[in-house]
Chain A
């Protein structure tokens, strides 16, 4: 049986080129996708990046985890972003609903431009969020922490503690929730809000004790030792090089696009997102650059 409370979105070594790549390179690859999403507002490019990250996840074998994250976050994210922007934005010319005077918010008119602007913002967040999920699923946290440790031992210590506490507390919460189902009145029914709150409170109450336990182990294993951890053996693999090149390519393409102003997008006063050939080419090039390293599947093992 799988460990109780094991986080569903977590690193799992799989037989894929991305998992055969060292953690720092995977981190850089996912960061490049995020940076590209943050540097452009054009819906076509954002859509292309969304497809890219989902395809990369599928090619790495982490598709179900990305889809789960998408299913859980996409609708709330879009709804929240669009609703806030619709209510707050005073720009845009295409009014499709007049809601009258809303007190502190004043006169509220809903515009098509505000809706699109909110949706584009949500799309950006979604791409960044999914890239982070992909990094969590595919980047070996031990390697990442080892690299961090050379840069900043304190940051690495905090990150190690936090990373270890996530599964420990998730397991605690899962056990607590399961135990509550053993109470006489709770058998055979789903827990209500009160029960969930009680479990959450008990988990949080135990977090300090758990973090002390983990910190004690880190201490005993010599984590605070002033000696510099030895660099691990092994040359960079061709997967490392391929994904590093891909990350560089994505970042450069996004940078060039931003500097050149190719992918112009304006939400206000009227929505403008011209579909230049350059934009279309870029929308096709980004997935190609990002997914090319997945073609080399030789020598990978879980």
Chain B
């Protein structure tokens, strides 16, 4: 018997013009790990809400068809009854946590189900240990970071040992390390406890390797229901925006089958003789990104190995020290500390020089100090020690674009000129909360950019949260254009795939310190977590971090291996070099 069954389910939110789900039929077996993919607004979250009974019980609207969750008809049984069998984690962790302490939060669902005190205590300990949050048990929930809250909320959903877990973008607030850990914790839960998992996720490269099956949604319909490999083939043909970077590398390089994860991709490349493990294992790691903080370094790249016959590093080298432009730095931080009165230091002596025309990505784990650094840059915070010098205006967009909107109409939020520049003039009379996520992001940009003078610097904090790949691509293109026009672009993000689409320079923070600062290919090329799937597949070879670079490298190797290349290997690698430069 299936743990989750949808039979011809259609659903419309109250007052909505179009249905959010259209004639959806599917079933999930016990112990299955199922990923739900789709662009924004495709109906993924509504599917989850229907599975846990919030649709229609909580949201109202018009509902047709049958959903059976653990054998319970969601029209008959309440979300509370369904919750005894299906743990649910929705996307906003702030509202997912309802108790004051972590221990109480995890035990909450267990106590509600009337479990004996000893069983509650045991489950709390086990769940906390399994999710690596045992040290948080006695903390207050209102002092946790977004990532910690997400894991605590997940623990709350898992503590009762549900047969089915429904998760809506659980990694959206997590750094790459924590995101990968969470996916593998889910996989372990799935394998060790036979728990079925239905996971809605935008960053498919994170979870396809763990999935048994992928459902793709579009316009409220399930348009693809296959294993990960089959889904990637389908996406390549029908919805390229859903392809993972690894699959795009293979597709662009003319390789088949498309891989669902790094391990599979490397095995396939090894089989084809396109992977040179001995050379590539340390290739990217040998990159010379400056360690530690200090003035921006030269960014001089050491020669990364690019495979047989390669004599040069394709990563473009900088001439002279970065930031030595005549105009001087747009933003300079000298020994910036931010120390909490009753707590730790968030920034510890940050030295950073950022020039106009640079596109810089700021990366690091949750709590590394990225957002604090941006707040200092934007003048929202003052350093407890050190100095921040900003030449010109800086437009700062914080994590939630919706927080900027306090008016009833789009036209009241920003000037018409600013709306026109971002292609929003047609929405001028709409309510800011009634427009799509991508439009909101653009409106927020219009608001912060709408001053009398064009800002010399643009800083964004986690701008891609909840964005689909297509929206990210458009944002990356826009940011690159601003950098080419001479503005400093500074973006804090966990999304490595997005970072390499626009950034020329990467600054890696850890515990408030700059631990690496250099060309994006150098800093992200050889990493295991803070890197792209393309770079992981190729082990950082040739500093190829973008899909196009990795695909060009593989094409060059294939041609070299078969001896039929139209260009000599060095010429092909020069092409990769050009790609690397053009993309940045």
A residues at B contact (CB < 8 Å): 1-3, 6-7, 10-13, 140-142, 146, 160, 163-164, 167-168, 171-172, 175-176, 178-185, 187-188, 198-199, 201-202, 210, 212-225, 227-233, 302
Contact = CB atoms under 8 A, between A and B. Distances in A.
B361 to A, nearest CB: 20
Nearest to B344: A1
Contacts of B165: none
B398 A220 contact: no
Contact of B88 (A141, A198, A220): A220
Contacts of A160: 98
B496 to A, nearest CB: 23
A36 B143 CA distance: 34
B54 A230 contact: no
Interface stretch (B208-216, B243-251, B444-452): B444-452
Contacts of B52: 220
B378 interface: yes
Contact of A182 (B58, B104, B448): B448
Nearest to B109: A221
Nearest to B86: A220
A142 B346 CA distance: 30
A3 B404 contact: no
Given A214-B98, A227-B112, A178 B398 contact: yes
A221 B156 contact: yes
Interface in B368-389: 371-372, 378-380
Which of A2, A11, A215 is the most central at the interface, judged by chain B CB atoms within 10 Å of its CB? A2
A270 B81 CA distance: 67
B333 to A, nearest CB: 17
A219 B95 contact: no
10 contacts: A1-B367, A2-B340, A163-B100, A164-B97, A185-B451, A220-B52, A221-B83, A221-B98, A222-B109, A225-B112
Contacts of B449: 184
Given A1-B371, A178-B380, A233-B117, A183 B100 contact: no
Given A183-B448, A222-B113, A228-B114, A1 B372 contact: yes
Given A216-B58, A219-B79, 14 more contacts: A6-B142, A13-B101, A13-B138, A179-B403, A182-B378, A182-B398, A202-B405, A222-B83, A222-B112, A225-B113, A229-B111, A229-B114, A230-B117, A230-B120
Contacts of B393: 184, 187
B15 interface: no
Contacts of A217: 90, 95-98
Interface in B97-138: 97-101, 104, 108-109, 111-118, 120-121, 138
B343 interface: yes
Given A163-B100, A213-B92, A221 B378 contact: no
Contacts of B117: 230-233
Which of A10, A214, A216, A228 is the most central at the interface, judged by chain B CB atoms within 10 Å of its CB? A216
A184 B367 CA distance: 28
B191 interface: no
A10 B307 CA distance: 59
Contacts of A302: 138
Nearest to B156: A221
A112 B51 CA distance: 70
Contact of A184 (B84, B121, B343, B451): B451
Nearest to B92: A213
Contacts of A3: 142-145
Contact of A230 (B99, B114, B144, B406): B114
A222 B100 contact: no
B436 interface: no
Which of A13, A184, A210 is the most central at the interface, judged by chain B CB atoms within 10 Å of its CB? A184
B142 A10 contact: yes
A65 B53 CA distance: 42
A201 B406 CA distance: 8
Contacts of B404: 179-180, 182-183
Nearest to A301: B138
A273 B108 CA distance: 52
Contacts of B120: 230, 232
A1 B346 contact: yes
B80 interface: yes
A74 B390 CA distance: 42
Please classify how large the interface on chain B is, using the bins under 10, 10 to 19, 20 to 34, 35 or more: 35 or more
B113 A181 contact: no
B319 to A, nearest CB: 35
A164 B94 CA distance: 10
B340 A220 contact: no
Nearest to A161: B98
Contacts of B397: 182
Which of B58, B92, B99, B396 is the most central at the interface, judged by chain A CB atoms within 10 Å of its CB? B99
B54 A220 contact: yes
Contacts of B379: 187-188
Interface string B401-432: 00111110000000000000000000000000
B143 A219 contact: no
A227 B113 contact: yes
Contacts of B111: 146, 229-230
B54 to A, nearest CB: 6
Contacts of B57: 219
A222 B115 contact: no
Contact of B80 (A13, A163, A179, A222): A222
A168 B98 CA distance: 10
B324 interface: no
Contacts of B138: 13, 302
Contacts of B115: 230
A212 B92 CA distance: 13
A175 B379 CA distance: 15
A11 B140 CA distance: 8
B510 to A, nearest CB: 15
A125 to B, nearest CB: 27
B375 to A, nearest CB: 8
Interface in B59-95: 78-80, 82-84, 88, 90, 92, 94-95
Interface in B185-215: none
Nearest to B396: A182
A167 B101 CA distance: 13
B330 to A, nearest CB: 15
Contact of B101 (A6, A142, A175, A179): A142
B400 interface: yes
Nearest to B160: A222
B395 interface: yes
Given A2-B343, A217-B98, A12 B448 contact: no
B116 A230 contact: yes
A140 B96 CA distance: 20
B80 A176 contact: no
Contacts of A141: 100
B140 to A, nearest CB: 6
Contacts of B82: 220
Contact of B452 (A12, A142, A184): A184
A174 to B, nearest CB: 10
B340 A1 contact: yes
B101 A140 contact: yes
